[in-house]
Structure 1
Amino acid sequence: MKTFVQLITAIIQPATASCLARPVMLLLLSFSAGLASMQPCAATPFQWEFTGSLNTAREYHTATLLSDGRVLVAGGGGPSTGDYPFPRLKSAELYNPATGTWTVTGSLNDERELQTQTLLPNGKVLAAGGWPEGTSTGTAELYDPATETWTFTGDLNVRRAAHTATLLLDGRVLAVGGSHSIHSAELYDPATGHWTLAGSLNTPRYGYHTATLLPDGRVLVAGGRYNVASAELYDPATGTFTVTGSLNTGRQGHTAMLLPNGNVLVAGGLNRDIGPLASAELYDPATGNWRPTGNLNVGRWYHTGTLLSDGRVLVAGGWRGQGPNSTLASAEIYDPATGTWTFTSDLNNARARHTATLLSDGIVLVAGGNDHGSIIATAELFLGPLRFRQPGK
């Protein structure tokens, strides 16, 4: 797709060969300046823009915004090789927003997909659990951006994958549920490099649930595999989980975002009795209850959800069915002020099992994923209301 500048140049160049060159150029430049100053539409094809592709195609990977503004992507599942149809990856790479390119960085010590990845207060990144091959793992490792290397840290007490990891207000990390650890939770202390068990869940969660840090420091855990509708709160002060109000619809593979008003928005997901869900719900920590809000325009799961800098929520991609042939390119924005979803421009690539990262400048980076059964390396930027960007910005 040509950029706006390329289109104007294509028009101007033929005119420079004629005596009308100067007036035509002045007219077109004046016209382009007028367009650039116009307010953008609610949905415009300029909202998504390709950026540099990953060096390795991947899905089920993790992405973390580093303290210096770069993005670390690690692990995941790669395209099939001759002898191994679903290889798990050790490789990692860094995205530089200033150049729009990815560079290879130090590899994980263990292959892993469906792991968690958490930025710690000291600037290092904790990768924990995941699937190396055949079963989940209990290993964990730390990435140091200064040396671009990974080193092992303390093992989890229980191996787990498709779990959640939440950075608490005191700097510890809470890991909850996942395969082979459905009732358990544990805490990682960066000061000691060790994990300690942290109470038992009231409902087993086999994975694909969400965990959201609330403003008061508690963690809301909701949903999960096998149509789980229950929710519970972890209180770091007591080290216990307590039951709170249940979702109106059980779901897995949904997204959960803390809104600026303190409520939590859960959107989409899969209910195996119903299929992909268009419904969305709001949790109010003051009452402990969920209430319906506006439905998505398209039911989806394996999508991403990102809180934008203006307080709205962007969901992108996912599956609208129960297989990769239903991969979506559509994206929608939720407005908390109206409780409604509106379509924005489609992704350039349909994708699910991808990542979405809010960059320091408010732009959203979407990377990798699965497009109708093919694992992809492409990445793109959601510019939001910004129709044009200067190179390197």
Structure 2
Amino acid sequence: MSVSIHPSATAPTARAALLRTSALALVLASLPLAAGSAATFQVTPSEEPSPGIVTFSGTPTGISADGRIVVGSYVGPAYWDSTGVRTDLPSAGVLGSAVAVNADGTIIVGGAFQYSTENTIALKWVDGETEVLPDFGGGSQALGVSGDGSSVVGYAAGEGNQVAVRWDAEGINILDHLTGETEAMARGVSADGSVIVGYAIDESYNRTAVYWDSSDIIHSLAFLDSGNNADLDSLKNADAVAASNNGSVIVGSAFEAGTKYAVYWDAARDVHRLALADGMTSARATAVNGDGSVIVGTGQNFYFDGIFLHDTQSGFRWTQDDGVISVGDWLRNNGVDVAVDIAKTAIGVSADGDVVVGQSQNGMHISRGFRTPAPAS
């Protein structure tokens, strides 16, 4: 079930202040240190780049299905072509970030922070125009968009709880919620728009990974087994962040016995844990390709050596045949000369699985493996 509400409507009651604080943190965390020059909004796909890795300044958040447009932030919302050339996006707020992009890179969604309201506002960029998406006056953020751009998902709040929403031609729609859960967030949507993924939050702030089907009915996704230790019940948290083209594969993260793992849920909605890469103590999956055969994410090793606290991260790429390997090893396996593993994270992947984008040690990277040659005609 969903409730369609137009811009003048108001939302239910509860914790809007927490949303405003979280929203500001989300926007500020996406901002790099240096400013960029403004440019005219125009998506112009570049020529097919050579296999390899391109690094440049910025904070990436997503990539188009065709692998040609990367979105994110460089002080404000921006996008890059596949060679690293940046275009800054006009913003209706003071700060902001582009978060997701449709299949061909022509529709971009995200949000910006407004000091006047102390809230974020959900934004959509189409054909050079910035559109402020309707909300309930308590802050909103767009986090995902379908392949054709007709369905945008995220969250919104008013004088009440944070709710998962979908924006479409009819306006803003509040998505169904689980019984006993107080808040929810939609994190992504399948390319065909049939499956929305995200999480629901109870009053103890535990998260349940969920998805909404084509009828907008919410379903909880399976947890990993936390074992028989009752003390670990509070760690039975899970989060769904992305889906394959038709929603048959959903990816995210879940805890098992106190450890966070990258996971995927298959078409039967059974949960599968991905192995941790060498040297990593936790992981999260962040994106999946079109047919669900390639999953990317980030492994993390967080430890204290008695003097200093260390946080080591490494972007990974998973397939059924290769298992979990670092982005650097994936490139080397495909003949690309990479001296060190500079891919700190992997946050997006093209529909064919050949292009991976994420943070590098000094900015961001676009990594491309070799494509399978087309058969001779």
For the aligned pair, the TM-score class normalised by the smaller chain equals 0.5 to 0.7
Asked whether the equivalents of residues 64 and 70 of structure 2 are also in contact (C-alpha less than 8 Å), the reply is yes
1:329 aligns with 2:317: no
Find 1:357's aligned residue among 327, 341, 349: 349
Asked whether the equivalents of residues 142 and 155 of structure 2 are also in contact (C-alpha less than 8 Å), the reply is yes
Find 1:70's aligned residue among 44, 48, 68: 68
Q: Is the partner of 1:262 in helix, strand or coil?
A: coil
TM-score of the two chains, using structure 1 as the length reference = 0.56
More strand by share: 2
Aligned twin of 1:184: 163
1:153 aligns with 2:118: no
Residues paired across the two proteins, number: 296
Aligned twin of 2:20: none
Find 1:230's aligned residue among 200, 208, 214: 208
Find 1:377's aligned residue among 334, 359, 363: 363
- The one-letter code of the counterpart of 2:68 is R
Alpha-carbon distance in 1 for matches of 2:299, 2:159: 26
Displacement of 1:110: 2.3
Find 2:54's aligned residue among 51, 55, 60: 51
Displacement of 1:181: 7.2
- The one-letter code of the counterpart of 1:364 is V
CA 365–264 in structure 1, closer or farther in 2 if over 3 Å, else same: closer
Displacement of 1:71: 0.4
Find 1:140's aligned residue among 117, 123, 139: 123
CA 63–252 in structure 1, closer or farther in 2 if over 3 Å, else same: same
Alpha-carbon distance in 2 for matches of 1:251, 1:114: 27
Q: Deviations 1:202-236 (Å, cap 9, x if unpaired)?
A: 434566x7545498924344477977453444244
Q: Is the partner of 2:212 in helix, strand or coil?
A: strand
Alpha-carbon distance in 1 for matches of 2:184, 2:98: 14
Displacement of 1:345: 3.5
Aligned twin of 2:92: 109
Asked whether the equivalents of residues 303 and 319 of structure 1 are also in contact (C-alpha less than 8 Å), the reply is no
- The one-letter code of the counterpart of 2:311 is S
Asked whether the equivalents of residues 222 and 230 of structure 1 are also in contact (C-alpha less than 8 Å), the reply is yes
Displacement of 1:104: 2.6
Q: Is the partner of 2:275 in helix, strand or coil?
A: coil
Asked whether the equivalents of residues 65 and 71 of structure 1 are also in contact (C-alpha less than 8 Å), the reply is yes
Aligned twin of 1:274: 258
Asked whether the equivalents of residues 116 and 164 of structure 1 are also in contact (C-alpha less than 8 Å), the reply is yes
Displacement of 1:184: 1.6
- The one-letter code of the counterpart of 1:348 is D
Find 2:289's aligned residue among 294, 301, 307: 307
Displacement of 1:383: 0.7
Asked whether the equivalents of residues 330 and 343 of structure 1 are also in contact (C-alpha less than 8 Å), the reply is yes
Q: Is the partner of 2:314 in helix, strand or coil?
A: coil
Find 2:154's aligned residue among 175, 200, 209: 175
- The one-letter code of the counterpart of 1:349 is I
Q: Superposed, which structure 2 residues align to 1:116-265 within 5 Å? A: 116-119=99-102, 124-129=106-111, 131=113, 136-144=119-127, 149-157=128-136, 159-160=138-139, 164-167=143-146, 171-176=150-155, 183-189=162-168, 191=169, 194-202=171-179, 203-205=181-183, 210-211=187-188, 213=190, 217-222=194-199, 228=206, 230-237=208-215, 239-243=216-220, 245-248=222-225, 250-251=236-237, 256-258=242-244, 262-265=248-251
CA 359–308 in structure 1, closer or farther in 2 if over 3 Å, else same: closer
TM-score of the two chains, using structure 2 as the length reference = 0.58
Alpha-carbon distance in 1 for matches of 2:107, 2:193: 24
Aligned twin of 1:296: 276
Gaps of 5+ in 2: 1-49, 227-235, 330-339
- The one-letter code of the counterpart of 2:102 is L
Alpha-carbon distance in 2 for matches of 1:180, 1:50: 46
Rg (Cα) greater in structure? 1
Q: Deviations 1:263-296 (Å, cap 9, x if unpaired)?
A: 4344x4678x825x236353444xx5x3444533
CA 258–327 in structure 1, closer or farther in 2 if over 3 Å, else same: same
Q: Is the partner of 1:328 in helix, strand or coil?
A: strand
Q: Is the partner of 1:320 in helix, strand or coil?
A: strand
Sequence identity (%): 10
Displacement of 1:53: 1.8
Alpha-carbon distance in 1 for matches of 2:249, 2:242: 10
Alpha-carbon distance in 2 for matches of 1:258, 1:359: 9
Asked whether the equivalents of residues 116 and 165 of structure 1 are also in contact (C-alpha less than 8 Å), the reply is yes
Alpha-carbon distance in 2 for matches of 1:50, 1:169: 28
